[in-house]
Amino acid sequence: MIALFEISANKNSNNMSVNRTIETIEPPKRFLAVEWKELWRYRDLFLVLAWRDISIRYKQTVLGVAWAVIQPVVTMIIFTFIFNRMANIQSGDGTPYPIFLYAGQLLWQYFSGTLTNASNAMVANASLVQKVYFPRLILPITAATTGLIDFAIASLILAGMMIYYGIMPGLIGLITLPILIFTAVLCSMGVGLLMASLNVKYRDVRYALPFAINILMYVTPVIYPVTMLNSHPWEKTAMTWLNPMSGVISNARAGLLGHSPFQWDILGISLLVSVIYFVIGLYYFRSTERYFADIA
């Protein structure tokens, strides 16, 4: 437990009074407790860190924020040629493959980017963690928030593609889109909090995580429809229950592109599993954050 003292003097024409403020910093009584008041008190630091991450990402670049669009578009073109034209993978519901791929790719890139940045948040900001007290949760939360900006910018291309192909988003898709994005945030934050804690102690994480993300993309229906697994029921069930992004991507396509039925049960499973992942990640993060300043 650490106590901070702040003494201030008030002086007017008749008398002078001294005010003393005592602020106590102590470990959380519950590992899953989130000090919302404390997070709100440090909101200015969160805004500064978020703006720093955004500015650094595009600092001294010729194209600037256009990179948020160029990367998914170029990836879509290459993947369409390889998997659609060469491997003859189709959307399975009549949706043009480029927009089918891009819709899934948007959510996957948010998930993978947030997971990567959140897992590196503590190590990348080690000098700040070792010198200044602030809620450590701010760092991975910043990673999740700044990723939404790239997601919003890249979504403009999806809107343009929907206009080009004459696809109108369904009402269900518009209503459930915030829920799907929230599910992706919970999933990426839960795994990111766990990886951030492990990365502080075991630096192997920074090498293993990119490899794991690349493998995970192929067991997520990003480049193929989940219906391709109908002949493999056990694998499809495992994907549904263990990989929340599978349900998020499939339902985002169904709701926005409207060529396949929206699956409410899969949405419920994805949200439930994402909450479980977030609780596990938050528990481990809170139980180990007291050691971050010593070994970050």
pLDDT at 32: 58
Q: Is residue 59 classed exposed, middle or buried when 0-12, 13-18 and 19+ CB atoms within 10 A define those classes?
A: exposed
pLDDT at 28: 55
pLDDT at 215: 92
Measured CA to CA, the distance from residue 286 to residue 53 in angstroms comes to 24
**What one-character-per-residue DSSP string does the chain give?**
-EEEEEEEEEE-SS-EEEEEEEEEE---SSTT---HHHHHHTHHHHHHHHHHHHHHHHTT-SSGGGHHHHHHHHHHHHHIIIIIIIS----SSS--HHHHHHHHHHHHHHHHHHHHHHHTHHHHTHHHHHH----TTHHHHHHHHHHHHHHHHHHHHHHHHHHHHT-PPPHHHHHHHHHHHHHHHHHHHHHHHHHHHHHHH-TTHHHHHHHHHHHHHHTTTTSS-GGGGTT-HHHHHHHHHH-HHHHHHHHHHHHHH-SS---HHHHHHHHHHHHHHHHHHHHHHHHHGGGHHHH-
Asked if 139 contacts 121 with a C-beta cutoff of 8 angstroms, the reply is: yes
Residue-by-residue pLDDT tens, the chain, 296 positions: 444 444 444 545 555 554 555 555 555 555 556 677 878 888 888 888 888 887 777 776 666 677 778 888 999 999 999 999 999 999 988 899 999 999 999 999 999 999 999 999 888 888 888 888 888 889 888 988 888 988 999 999 999 999 999 999 888 999 999 999 999 999 999 999 999 999 988 888 888 999 999 999 999 999 999 989 988 999 899 998 999 999 999 999 999 998 889 999 999 999 999 999 999 999 999 888 877 766 65
Asked if 118 contacts 144 with a C-beta cutoff of 8 angstroms, the reply is: yes
Q: What angle do CA 158, 88, 209 make, to 5 degrees?
A: 65
pLDDT at 75: 92
- The reported pTM is 0.84
Measured CA to CA, the distance from residue 292 to residue 129 in angstroms comes to 7
Q: How many CB atoms lie within 10 A of CB 152?
A: 12
Measured CA to CA, the distance from residue 19 to residue 17 in angstroms comes to 7
Buried b (16+ CB within 10 A) or exposed e, 84-99: beeeebbbbeebbbbb
pLDDT at 108: 96
